[in-house]
Amino acid sequence: MIDFEAPKPIAQQSFALTTVAENMMRPVSRYFDEQEHEIPWDYINFMHMAMRATGAGSLAPRKRKPKEGEEKKKYPPIGYQSLAFLLETLSWGDVGLYLCTPGGGVGAAAIEATGTPEQKQKFLARFATDKPTFGAMAMTESQAGSDTSAIRTTAILDEETDEWVLNGEKIFVTGGHKSLVDSDGLVVIWATIDPEAGRAGMRSFVIEAGTPGCQVTKLEHKMGIRASDTVSLVMQDCRVPFENILGSPEVVRRPRSKTGFKGAMQTFDATRPLVAATGIGVARASLDLVKEMLAQQGVSIRYGLPRQKLTNIEREVIDMEVMLRSAWLLVIKAVWMADNKLPNTREASMSKVRAGDVVNRITQKALELMGPIGYNRDHLLEKWFRDAKITDIYEGTGQINRLIVARNILGFHGRDLR
């Protein structure tokens, strides 16, 4: 049975992270929004030490431990649930700064989804060192956004040296600069080893920082999440060891191959609910500010009255709360399924769609309700409005995730419903 209440360890963690959000993130939120590409090392170093001390943020599912004298029984894993609460709270503080939190990120999720046990042990150990380390994933190309089958980056095996040679360009890589330039991190690159095989020929490769032939060529200037770097990468005769291919190099020419396109989708099934959680954090921040400013003006929300007896602003606030809670319940269901190793493709995409829609509607409505106060730069509301849109874009746009949900419900393949 799904428990929608936060387990005690997660509740305690969320309380501690709220303190971080209020005291370390909010005070510098505007500064790092305006100083795009300046790295928030104070936040990064603090979070690195805190996460190492507590184990928070690990992608490995954790189990509740019984108290002394308590009857021993099997406790469900709470790894992804823990991450969802962590990410929601940090994004309530500042989603751009959250994206600078050290750790494996989506890169580690890809390794978890498609790597062998030996690869997981080798590459994930990189994020447990004394220095902050970052991971990223690179899939998008100029001609291959939502249509991943159009990827042109190639990986060819040089049998003489037993190395893969990668050539191509990736764009919109979140955290790519921190992963390859600012730390001894890694990027998981999706490439094709057999262009004629389409998606079945897709494979992921780990490129570690310092690998010759892989270069950051552009830092994007963005509307939102400006504290986080987004880059373009170019691979030019970039050589990686044979064992850096995640999963099997064998091309299985059938739609359900577990090593190619399906491996990418397994990564997204794990991370899309977490992306949704970040959007919900931004939406909650906006709603909290609206309610705080209304309270300062003596406006209280009279819960429990029929709608016809409420003022318009009371109805608006209650509607925003309903949207926020419904989106959060979808996230909780999706991460609960991930923790229990249940197929969650539909639920992951549903949570991403709903959160992307809700965060944009709530931040826009908050601006409308606050009028000029919300639009000026004295408060962070206009920043949250700019930060909100990315939730609907990265890790699969809202349109693509709606297609995934529709195909899943109707039992169609991608070729049947576009």
Same structural domain for residues 98 and 114?
no
**Which residues have CB under 8 Å from 302's CB, separation 6+?**
309, 310, 314
pLDDT of residue 55: 61
Average pLDDT, the chain: 89
What pLDDT digit, counting tens, does each position of 171-229 carry? 999 999 999 999 999 999 999 999 888 888 889 999 999 999 999 999 999 999 999 99
Single-letter residue type at 408: N
What pLDDT digit, counting tens, does each position of 357-393 carry? 999 999 999 999 999 988 889 999 999 999 999 999 9
Say if 256 falls within a structural domain.
no
Same structural domain for residues 363 and 232?
no
Query: Among residues of the chain, what percentage have pLDDT more than 90?
Result: 70
Nearest Cα to Cα of residue 9 among 109, 88, 86: 86
Say if 116 falls within a structural domain.
yes
Same structural domain for residues 320 and 202?
no
- Whether 105 shows a pLDDT value over 60: the answer reads yes
Same structural domain for residues 94 and 160?
no
Same structural domain for residues 392 and 289?
yes
Say if 69 falls within a structural domain.
yes
Say if 71 falls within a structural domain.
yes
Q: Which of 50-54, 177-181, 283-287, 298-302 has the lowest mean pLDDT?
A: 50-54
Same structural domain for residues 29 and 153?
no
CATH of the domain at 124: 2.40.110.10
Instruction: Using the 3D structure, point to which of 182, 215, 246 is the last residue of a domain.
Output: 246
Same structural domain for residues 148 and 209?
yes
pLDDT of residue 4: 62
**Residues annotated as part of the active site:** 395
Around 216, how many Cα atoms within 13 Å sit in the side-chain half-sphere?
23
The dihedrals phi and psi of 204, each to the nearest 5 degrees, come to -110, 145
Nearest Cα to Cα of residue 273 among 215, 331, 217: 331
Assess contact for 136 and 152: CB atoms under 8 A.
Answer: no
Length of the chain in residues, anyone?
A: 418
**Which residues have CB under 8 Å from 91's CB, separation 6+?**
98, 277, 278, 279, 280, 281, 282, 285
> Residue 357's Cα: distance from chain center in Å?
16
Instruction: Using the 3D structure, point to which of 72, 102, 132 is the last residue of a domain.
Output: 102
Same structural domain for residues 268 and 376?
yes
**26 in the Ramachandran plot: left (φ > 0), alpha (ψ -120 to 50) or beta?**
alpha
Q: Read off the pTM.
A: 0.90
Question: Which tops the pLDDT comparison, 28 or 341?
Answer: 28
CATH of the domain at 375: 1.20.140.10
Question: Which tops the pLDDT comparison, 253 or 262?
Answer: 262
CATH of the domain at 84: 1.10.540
Assess contact for 195 and 272: CB atoms under 8 A.
Answer: no
- Whether 314 shows a pLDDT value over 90: the answer reads yes
Beta strands in 193-246 (DSSP E): 202-208, 214-219, 230-241, 245-246
What pLDDT digit, counting tens, does each position of 119-128 carry? 999 999 999 8
Q: Which of 50-64, 274-288, 332-346 has the lowest mean pLDDT?
A: 50-64
- Whether 259 shows a pLDDT value over 50: the answer reads yes
pLDDT of residue 413: 79
Q: Which residues span the domain enclosing 187?
A: 107-246
Same structural domain for residues 152 and 277?
no
Count of the separate structural domains present in the chain: 3
Q: Which of 6-10, 16-20, 57-61, 299-303 has the lowest mean pLDDT?
A: 57-61
Alpha helices, DSSP H, located in 244-339 = 261-296, 312-339
Task: Report CA-CA distances (Å) from 171 to 78, 382, 388.
Answer: 33, 27, 21
Query: Does residue 348 sit in helix, strand or coil?
Result: helix
